[in-house]
Amino acid sequence: MNAFYAGMAEIFEIAETDITPDLDLASHTWDSLAIVSTIALIDECFNQLVGGKALAECATIADIEALIRIDAAKVA
């Protein structure tokens, strides 16, 4: 998760230590560019593709992590 958290910190332009599972995405720049960047980050870190619509519905980092696990389960 370290690479993922570092990437999310870069997307939001905040310190990596500020990225926690309960981070509220709406309180940062959670727009279409951030979503597309997060899709690329997830692909890079986890070799997984997630849908933009499902990602846009995420409210916290924990929601994104759950989405990654759910998508991984679909592949398995």
**Which CATH number does the domain housing residue 7 bear?**
1.10.1200.10
Instruction: Give the domain extent around 70.
Output: 2-75
What per-residue confidence (pLDDT) applies to 72? Answer: 61
Residues 6+ apart with CB under 8 A from 69: none
Burial class (CB in 10 A: 0-12, 13-18, 19+), 3: exposed
* Tens place of pLDDT per residue across the chain (76 aa): 689 999 999 999 999 999 999 999 999 999 999 999 999 999 999 999 999 999 999 999 999 999 998 766 555 4
What's the predicted TM-score (pTM) here?
A: 0.88
Q: From CA 59, how far away is CA 29, in angstroms rounded?
A: 12
Q: Domain total for the chain?
A: 1
